DNA sequence: CTCCTAGTTGGTAACTATTATTATTTGCAA
DNA sequence: TTGCAAATAATAATAGTTACCAACTAGGAG
């Protein structure tokens, strides 16, 4: 059985067809999807699924670490299979997320946090813009 | 005349009592304010002001560079007098914004942007948590 | 000064992304 | 199988913000 489904089970949650579908869609996608995009794709197989179910389960899957959530300023959050802590170049055209293996929460920034006695809850680092493909779509042709 | 009001005039916008009040409140605040907080404070002087007017003008003042806007994930945006490009430690308790004079859009990150041919629109770096004062309020006493 | 009008305002409806509620259904352990 | 906690579908509610529009006004032309 799919190890990500297994993880649901391990945590005491039930394996429902809806959860199978959500995971399936996200595993097949080459880029993170919004809740709405996930819903659209699922509805082709199972038109009766509720968007509340999508949101509920995307959040649940994030909580148990199977998915990760990209918070994007002034736009819908995007969800993807968790590949560890990362930051991205986010394309506003196609939704692609290009991983950058650098976290700014280090060095001088961490020192400043110490100096101010600040207790960190979370951090966000995101770069929005347009990927090469989306730029060509605009300009060329 | 206040040089920030002057800037409105320079850009061809009218100086209205509402705009004076918004700027006045923000100039007197020691931390960035949400639109709602700005509205509350103004309503003590001018109860008839509309929240639409507040939002409209906060955004206008950001556009002409008089204010800057802090986008905070899953929370209302905060506005402050523009003091140049900055990132902050944002306190979820009291709304304080502690400046950190470091922008992660440099070095290896910029190289990666080049390498991917990514065209940057904007970037967003924020650290949320609790300032020293708010931590004491919780723990001590 | 007075007049005129483009710019501005107040009030409110609409919107987007998301969470809450609740009656009904279902996965799965016993 | 059965029983029931967990999960779902449908829908209302929420927060933050923008859109809309009829009524008002700042400030330049005369
Ligand atoms: Mn990080
Ligand atoms: Mn920066
Ligand atoms: Zn793209
Ligand atoms: Zn604080």
Q: Give the domain CATH number at A74.
A: 1.10.10.10
Contact A57, A18 (CB under 8 A): yes
Coil, helix or strand at residue A33: strand
Interface contact B119, partner A, CB < 8 A: yes
Contact (Cβ atoms closer than 8 angstroms) between residue B39 and residue B54: yes
Looking at the structure, do residues A69 and A115 belong to the same domain, yes or no? no
What rounded mean pLDDT belongs to chain B?
94
Q: Which structural domain, as residue segments, surrounds residue A74?
A: 1-83
How many domains are contained in chain B?
2
DSSP, collapsed to helix, strand or coil, labels residue A134 as helix
Say how far residue B129 (Cα) sits from the centre of its chain: 17
Clarify whether residues B44 and B96 are in a common domain: no
- Residue A57 sits in the same domain as residue A110: no
pLDDT, tens digit (0-9, with 9 covering 90-100), for B3-50: 999 999 999 999 999 999 999 999 999 999 999 999 999 999 999 999
Same domain, A60 and A126: no
The pLDDT tens digits of the residues spanning A53-63 come to 999 999 999 99
Q: Is A73 on the interface with B (CB under 8 A)?
A: yes
CA of B99 to C1' of C9 (A): 35
Q: Please give all residues whose CB falls under 5 A of ion ligand 3, grouped by chain where several chains appear.
A: A 91, 93-94, 96, 131, 134
The residue among B61, B83, B105 that closes a domain is: B83
Task: Indicate the pLDDT class of residue B2, thresholds 50, 70 and 90.
Answer: confident
Please state the pTM of the whole predicted model: 0.92
Positions 61-120 of B with beta carbon below 7 A from strand D are: 75-77
CA–CA separation, B86 vs B101, rounded Å? 6
């Amino acid at each position: 059985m799919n190890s990500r489904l297994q993880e649901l089970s391990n945590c005491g949650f039930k394996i429902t067809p809806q959860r199978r579908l959500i995971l399936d869609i996200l595993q097949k996608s080459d880029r993170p999807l919004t809740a709405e995009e996930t819903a659209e794709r699922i509805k082709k197989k199972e038109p009766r699924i509720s968007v509340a179910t999508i949101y509920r389960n995307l959040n649940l899957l994030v909580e148990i670490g199977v998915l990760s959530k990209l918070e994007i300023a002034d736009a819908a959050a995007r969800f993807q299979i968790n590949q560890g802590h990362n930051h991205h170049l986010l394309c506003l055209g196609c939704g692609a997320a290009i991983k950058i293996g650098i976290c700014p929460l280090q060095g001088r920034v961490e020192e400043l946090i110490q100096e101010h006695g600040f207790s960190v809850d979370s951090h966000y680092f995101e770069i929005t813009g347009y990927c090469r493909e989306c730029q060509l779509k605009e300009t060329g042709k």
